[in-house]
Each structure stands twice: as C-alpha cells, then as structure tokens.
Amino acid sequence: MPPRTVAVLAFDDAQVLDVVGPAEVFYAADALAGGGQYTVQVTSPDGTDVRGGSGLRIGVAAALSQVAGPLDTVVVPGSHAFRRVAADPVVLAALDEGVGRSRRVASVCAGAFLLGSLGVLDGRRATTHWMFLDELAADFPAATVERGPIFVADGPIHTSAGVTAGIDLALALVEADLGPEVAREVARYLVVFMQRPGGQAQFSVRLEARATRSPTIRAVLDAVAADPAGDHRLAALSARAGFSERHLVRVFARETGTTPARYVEQVRVEAARQLLESTELPLAAIARRSGLGSPDALRRAFLRELGIGPHDYRLRFGTTGVRVS
C-alpha cells in the first residue's frame, strides 16, 4: 500500500498553528511507525509561498492541484480573516478540486467556513472555534452545528474546534488509520494529551467505529457517543432505531463489527477515561457520569477494555496537577 498523501492547504492569513500542528502529527506518525504511512505536503492555491496571519512565511511544496492523486486527507486551516478567505474564488476553487479527489477532509477552527462555502457541510454535523459557533450555524443552516466536542466526524468530513484542537483531530485520524498505540506514541513524542482534559469531550471510539452505510445505525452510534450516561439498554436502542431487538443486533454487528452492548461499554469507558485524566472526581462520581453506574462496574469495564483498573489508569495517565501562574 503506498503512503497516504496528506495535503494541507495553506493560504495568506492562515492560522500558522492550524497548518503546522496537524502536519507535525502526521509526520511524526509516519516516522514513529517506521515510514511508508504518510506523505505530508503543505500546499497553496497556486503553488507560491504564503504569509500566515502572524506574519510567518510558510513555504509550500506545490499547488494543491499539482499534488499527485488520489489524496487521502485534505487539511483546511482557519484564519482570523476567514470571511475574506471563504469568499476568495481562488482559494475555494483549489479547495473544491482537492476535496473532490480526497478520501476525507479535516478542517481546523474557522476552516469550517471554507467547507461550508463549498456546500460540504450541508446535511452534516460540524463544529468550529467556540467564538464562531453562532456564526457557523447562521451562515450554514443546512448543517447541524455541535457546540461541545473538540471535533466532530460525520462520514468523510471532520471539523474541529479552535487552533490546537487540530492536533486532537489529527491524532484521532492517526488512531483510526494506524491504531491507538501509534497515536499514543505520537502524543507522547509531541508532549500533548492523547485526549485533552477539559469540558469538551472527544470520543475516538465513535471515530474508530467501522463506517456504516445505515443512517439508522449511524444515528444510534451518535446518540450513544453524545450521552454516554443515557439509557442505552438494548430495548431503548431498539425503540430508538425502530428495529426489533434481534434485528438491531444483527444489523449492528454487520455494520460495525461489534454488538450494541460492547459499543456502549467502549464509549462509557472512554468517557470515564477522560474524567480520570482531567478531574479529581471520586470513582463513584465518574462511574455515574460515564454511565457505568458503580465503582465495581467501572473497574470491571476497565479491566475488560483496557486490562488496567481505573485507579491505576489515573496514576499513569492523569494530569500532573502542576499549576503555573
């Protein structure tokens, strides 16, 4: 299998970290995996170097259209001047050509507005920097704007929150491509969180789930990921899907490669992991918030899914607690 081509579309006034953050994640993933996984190319609409919003000059390899296809991933950075950029016919034409021959697209921060200008977000869920959520919803009413997640994956279209969230999204894409061990190694190498602490949860379990052709099953997956502590017993999922329990289990396994119960547990364990990494909540509270119910159920689920108990997981992967002023 040839290396996956990752093309980052840079342009004048682009947020520089939106460009180099994801590029460094894919570059590091290729190096740590032994090579042959990714080819990363920073491009521009016409192949000339550009000047980022901070004044830094960004050297590019080629015009996006000159990168030999097919493209695996196109990364679209944001900009403080996103209104102007999203109306620039040269930028939009270059992006449209790249999107048309790529497997997936990932926008960072206000890069979502460029995708929206091409109609790419119509009928899909999306997010952006918290400052621009209302504007995104107003500009593109055919999209469903989500206000909590660090990033949103809807089919081949991935959008992320502000600036450094592009690194979170790139790590999740690496995880989906090469597995969690490689993604963890990249996170350690770059000294970033595999899953950042804070109020905006990300659920890589949902991203890892096998692509489904069924909108009904996709809706079930999204509902579980959006509310891990909700009622996701088989009867409730069956009623939500409009399938009999037996039929739901059969279709779910065919579409995702797992069972509803296993998927629900994986999402709840991931929610508990985020709380263990980023809070000092007692295990009982984490069990309740993640939907696992009790500390005993939390421990059993962690041992099944991760081979480690929640207490030991917190000791290994929790934040340092160091405060800076």
- CATH code at position 110: 3.40.50.880
The rounded distance, in Å, linking the Cα atoms of 146 and 136 is: 10
pLDDT at 317: 66
pLDDT at 320: 39
pLDDT at 1: 80
pLDDT at 203: 41
Q: What is the CATH number of the domain that holds 290?
A: 1.10.10.60
Residues 97 and 191 in one domain: yes
Residues 39 and 96 in one domain: yes
Share of the chain above pLDDT 70, in %: 91
What CA dihedral angle connects 77, 79, 84 and 88, to 10 degrees? -20
pLDDT at 12: 97
Rg of the chain, C-alpha, whole Å: 20
The rounded distance, in Å, linking the Cα atoms of 258 and 182 is: 23
The ranges of the chain with pLDDT < 70 are 193-212, 317-325
| Among candidate residues 166, 199, 232, the one where a domain is terminated | 199
pLDDT at 261: 95
Tally of domains within the chain:
2
pLDDT at 324: 32
pLDDT at 214: 84
| Among candidate residues 199, 224, 259, the one where a domain is terminated | 199
| Among candidate residues 183, 199, 215, the one where a domain is terminated | 199
β partners of residue 4: 38
pLDDT at 325: 28
> Across the chain, where does the E strand assignment appear?
4-9, 38-44, 50-51, 57-58, 62-63, 71-76, 102-107, 125-126, 144-145, 151-154, 157-160
Residues 160 and 224 in one domain: no
Range of the domain at 212: 205-317
Give the pLDDT confidence of 271-304 residue by residue, as tens digits: 998 888 878 899 999 999 999 999 999 999 999 8
Residues 155 and 220 in one domain: no
pLDDT at 10: 98
